[in-house]
Each structure stands twice: as structure tokens, then as C-alpha cells.
A and B are shown apart, each in its own frame.
Chain A
Amino acid sequence: EPEVTQTPSHQVTQMGQEVILRCVPISNHLYFYWYRQILGQKVEFLVSFYNNEISEKSEIFDDQFSVERPDGSNFTLKIRSTKLEDSAMYFCASGLRNQPQHFGDGTRLSIL
């Protein structure tokens, strides 16, 4: 069965550094999402992406965040100048219209 894959599984970065989290969605999916889950807290929506542009973004998704689908297969989340509070598990998901999403296993981001 096709899967959403995320790399790396764990990323450790110094505060203030840029980080790029990578996702390979399922190949025929058209809708892409990023979520985050701070340890012990609920999952939070960051951004949705369709037709090469952002569809919706949450209040969390401020100017330090950006998303890109650079080559038609990867879907990346960039955090420009990381803060301690960016430490979380980041999940990518993909789907088709009116269908349940498929989630990746997540990238654990640790900011030191």
C-alpha cells in the first residue's frame, strides 16, 4: 500500500538555524498538509496546499514558515529561524478531495 514518507525521522538543530522537513506524499494525491504536535499536547493544523499554492494556514504558520512542492513529488516545510518552542513532532499528510488523509510517521524536531 502506498505510504507518505517523511525524512528525517529526527532532526536536532540549534536555535536560530533554518530547518527543512521533507515529505513525499502518495503519488496521485492532490491535497497536502502539515501539522505539528508539541509533546503532550494536541495535534495542530499548520497549512494546507493544493494546486501549487497554500489553501489555508493557521495562526501558527507565520512568516518564519514556508512550504514548497519543488519537484512535483516532494513537499517541504521550512522553518527559517527556529525557536525553542518549535520543538515538536511535525506530521505531513496527503489526500484526495473528500477522502480521508494519509499521514506520514512524523519528524521529531528538537531545537537546542
Chain B
Amino acid sequence: KNEVEQSPQNLTAQEGEFITINCSYSVGISALHWLQQHPGGGIVSLFMLSSGKKKHGRLIATINIQEKHSSLHITASHPRDSAVYICAVSPTGNQFYFGTGTSLTVIP
């Protein structure tokens, strides 16, 4: 049983392209997280969302609670954006379900 589904699994883009990664979930949540996992394995938290939209630099995250769907957008993509992007949801704030991740490669 997968509480969190991400698409696409793999994504290759040319530098400068606009990128969208999607996340759908099946449980009620208190928050949704977007994480970035670097090729070396380290994990960085990008966004924590409970409603609406957040923006940080070239990254934008949106969530539609009624549709149980979130998107992560990257504008003007760059090779340094190459990483695995992971969606995670928390029903209670204390337990988390993770997606399998979207592996993004940005080609110069």
C-alpha cells in the first residue's frame, strides 16, 4: 500500500527548462514536505506545506488539500538542481509517509 505516489519517477531536462514534479497522497494530512536528496545521500528539507503555495528562489511548491495533490516546480532549471526530489506527508506531525522520489537530471 502506497500512501504517497510521485510522478514522474525519472525526469531529464535541458538547462533552463521549467520542471514540474507531482505528488498524490491518500491519507489526511497535517503537512506535506518536499525534500531534496543529493547524489551523496544527504537530505535537505525544501518546503513544509499545509495549504496554498510557497516560493523559495526558483522553487515553488503548491498543495491542493481537497484533491490530495501537491506539485513542486523548478523554474530556469540548472545542472546543480540534479537530485532526487521526495514528497513526504504527515497525518499527525509525528509520523511520516514517503514517496519513492523523482530522480531529476538537468543537462547543460
**Measuring CB to CB, which residues of chain A are less than 8 angstroms from any residue of chain B?**
31, 33, 35, 41-45, 48, 50, 55-56, 58, 89, 91, 93, 97-103, 105-106
Given contacts A42-B101, A43-B88, A99-B48, contact A91 B43 (CB under 8 A): yes
Contacts of B41 in A (CB 8 A): 89, 105-106
Given contacts A99-B48, A100-B48, contact A43 B43 (CB under 8 A): yes
Q: List 20 A-B contacts (CB under 8 A).
A: A31-B94, A33-B96, A42-B101, A43-B35, A43-B86, A43-B88, A43-B98, A44-B98, A45-B95, A45-B98, A48-B95, A50-B94, A56-B92, A98-B48, A98-B93, A100-B33, A101-B33, A103-B43, A106-B41, A106-B42
Annotate B74-97 by CB proximity to A: 1 below 8 A, 0 otherwise.
Answer: 000000000000101000111111
